[in-house]
Amino acid sequence: MTDHTTDPRTAASARPATASHATETAFLGLGPKDFRLLLIVIALTMLAPFLLNPFPAGSELAQFNAGYPDLMQRFVIFGIFAIGFNILFGLTGYLSFGHAAFLGVGSYAAIWMMKLLTMNVIPAIVLSVIVAGIFALLVGFISLRRSGIYFSILTLAFAQMSYALAYSVLTPITGGETGLQAKINDPRILDPGAGQSLGRANLFGLEMGSSYNLQIGDWSFTFNAGYYLAAIVMLVGFYLAIRLFRSPFGMMLRAVKSNQQRMNYTGLNSRPYTLAAFVISGMYAGLAGGLMVAMDTQVGPERMFWTASGEVVLMTILGGAGTLIGPVLGAGMIKYMENIVSKINDNILHQWFSFLPDGLEDALVAIVYPFIGKGWNLTLGIVFMLVVIFLPGGLVQGGQKVARLFRRNNRKGGGAESEAAKKQPAE
Amino acid sequence: MGILEVKNVGKRFGGLKALDNVNLSVQENTVHAIIGPNGAGKSTLLNCLIGKLIPDTGSVMFDGQSVLGRKPHEINQMGISRVFQTPEIFGDLTVFENVMIPIFARRDGAFALHAFKQVMNDRDIRERTEAMLADVNMLDKRDAHAASLSRGDKRRLEMAMCLSQQPKLLLLDEPTAGMARADTNNTIDLLKEIKAKRDITMCIIEHDMHVVFSLAERITVLAQGTPLVEDVPDNIKGHPKVREAYLGTAH
Ligand SMILES: Nc1ncnc2c1ncn2[C@@H]1O[C@H](COP(=O)(O)OP(=O)(O)OP(=O)(O)O)[C@@H](O)[C@H]1O
Ligand SMILES: [Mg+2]
């Protein structure tokens, strides 16, 4: 994408920090800063059942708890989707509007593995990545002949085509409108108990749906096997993404975004670089699709609808395109709003504002009402607009601004701060 | 036979003959300057050499091989690097990264999938980049954003990027435009130094006659898409045809 000029200041804050000196390697081939980031993300995902359930079970605020398996799974699965999308969009600037197609294809591949082979999720997940990768190779090969808006339109066209095909012509493979789900009479040739009972998705016997409940006082925390599997997969995906960001390949992808002409006149063929990025991000999408099936053994074509492709764009931009952690944050924020804000109804609002005089209460409820329940999209839209206008670098840039504010205050307090930290804000 | 042989090259833009039957032969290991008034077709000629434009007629041979029909990155990999009239750099990247990229391109070829190595842990590349930046006196700006550099620094950076590839033929399109006098002199010294150190052919377009006469061993004068004269600098200085082209006295 040659002809969009970015404001160097915003680009600076959104750009992954790279010091141009030899990087000390802390562990796992990561620099100290990246390693710290990875540790933080590991801690957050492993402790998520606690962190997302801060309110006692029976309390008023319990509806803001997000620590139930279904939602936690969605956080990490969409996190994977967004991490992969960011490798393409964040680094190369190529905006795909059809990534849901790869998610959908991955899902179909996974469900077929479960129907034909086994309810063990490993073959399903592996195949979903492979099939999505092959499909991405095809779509990318054609779409990457154009850049800018034409590229976006081509990917959108492919995705909508896939959606329509899954809905109609391909019904024998996709189940059409009703989609596919695990059934009792599936062959499942590797499963001993096939044909007798409905199999459950499992990892060598550990059922994805199995949960352990921990009760501490009024608080209740749920530890779900499926969540932890998806979380570990996400951590591996996140780790690989950091490695990619800091690699020569990652640098070349940023060069594509910055000045593709110069890249070509420098002896680099930008096409295979963008195609590799496209395939890798398609594989992440397929992985997310496979995990969705592993958590909930069914698929429908709506998974490939264009709104699903748009959602991952929003997640990435909201969190901070081109940053490491941004897309995961964006995915979490959107899924939280979709599931929590949408649950609030007018009764709850009346309860909140009940301390006010009746007239005022009704007026306030009337004002807030359009933003909750089914209106959560409106809230999301407004948040998105505010972020894009005031924080072009996404939530990550917001976090950096806050961190800088704190640091400045600290310095006023007398503590000498390292200049390096100021120059290279951590993500 | 020169290292670069341009034969009967013509290029039209609509009704405008930007290049009209251009013949040019650049000898190996020389500095060849192309001068001429604005709009003479100098940049267009370079565009035809690097695959940015395809000439309507004629042939371009480099190192015994035809350049026409090859993609820009293939032409670069043959050994031609170009500094553009308006700096073409990676604005979002740091100065250091800007220089690392061409060095990677020269070492690893047009495409290499190193997605699991740390870019900064490649000692060979890092040292070559540091040496190059030291040569152009930009080591102190290594972490600066390329887009934030001054116009002169951008040019110096682009020159460093091209030189770091150790090209056989270096094309320079007004390399000192927008530079302060001191930087212009530094650039002249740098190019002389490079020239003395190793085998390199340079083709330089320049309006600054001080630069031209400091560096060039041969000069071609281009006007309205055709070469008027080609000679050694001393013969070009007072040449009536050259004055005519620049001042438009005749007719
Ligand atoms: N892509 C293009 N499309 C149409 N006309 C062009 C194009 N590129 C160059 N021209 C025209 O061709 C002529 C030669 O342009 P060129 O840029 O080669 O001149 P130049 O000798 O480099 O001049 P200057 O010293 O100003 O850089 C000019 O009249 C210019 O307007
Ligand atoms: Mg020019």
Dist. CA B45–CA B22, nearest whole Å = 9
The residue type at A371 = F
Structure tokens at B16: 């405008």
Structure tokens at A65: 């708890």
Lowest mean pLDDT among A132-136, A253-257, A352-356, B194-198: A352-356
Residues A27-71 have pLDDT tens digits of 888 989 999 999 999 999 999 999 999 999 888 888 889 999 999
Q: Does B123 touch chain A (CB under 8 A)?
A: yes
For domain A29-304, give the CATH number. 1.10.3470
Task: Map tokens 């000439």 to a residue.
Answer: B55
Q: What separation in angstroms does the CA of B127 have from each of B10, B96, B120, B146?
A: 43, 11, 10, 20
Q: Catalogue all structural domains in chain B, each as residue range(s) with its CATH number.
A: 1-79+168-251 (3.40.50.300), 89-166 (no CATH)
Q: Is the pLDDT confidence value at B113 over 70?
A: yes
Question: Is the shortest distance between the CB of B85 and ligand 1 below 6 Å?
Answer: yes
Q: What separation in angstroms does the CA of B214 have from each of B43, B189, B206, B219?
A: 21, 9, 11, 12
pLDDT confidence of residue A341: 87
- Contact between B70 and A267 under an 8 Å Cβ cutoff? The reply is no
Give ipTM to 2 decimals: 0.93
Structure tokens at B240: 């009536």
**pLDDT > 70: what percent of chain A?**
90
Dist. CA A367–CA B213, nearest whole Å = 76
Residues B45-59 have pLDDT tens digits of 999 999 999 999 999
Residues B157-209 have pLDDT tens digits of 999 999 999 999 999 999 988 788 988 999 999 899 989 988 999 999 998 99
Residues A367-401 have pLDDT tens digits of 888 888 888 889 889 999 999 899 999 999 999 99
Domain residue ranges in chain A:
29-304
Q: Tell me what the mean pLDDT of segment A86-115 comes to.
A: 97
pLDDT confidence of residue A16: 44
Closest by Cβ to B92, choosing from A19, A258, A267: A258
Q: How long a stretch of residues is chain B?
A: 251
How close is the Cα of B167 to the center of ligand 1, in Å?
26
Confidence of residue A11 (pLDDT cuts 50, 70, 90): very low
- Contact between A180 and A166 under an 8 Å Cβ cutoff? The reply is no
Nearest residue to A215 (alpha-carbon basis) of A50, A63, A65? A50
pLDDT confidence of residue A21: 60
Residues B44-95 have pLDDT tens digits of 999 999 999 999 999 999 999 999 999 999 999 999 999 999 999 999 999 9
> Which residues contact residue B135 at a Cβ distance below 8 angstroms, ignoring those fewer than 6 apart?
B160, B163, B190, B193
Q: Tell me what the mean pLDDT of segment A231-252 comes to.
A: 97
CA dihedral in degrees (B159, B160, B166, B170; nearest 10)? 0
Task: Say if the Cβ atoms of B76 and A266 lie within 8 Å.
Answer: yes
Question: Is the shortest distance between the CB of B38 and ligand 1 below 6 Å?
Answer: yes
How close is the Cα of A150 to the center of ligand 1, in Å?
29
Question: Is the shortest distance between the CB of B86 and ligand 1 below 6 Å?
Answer: no
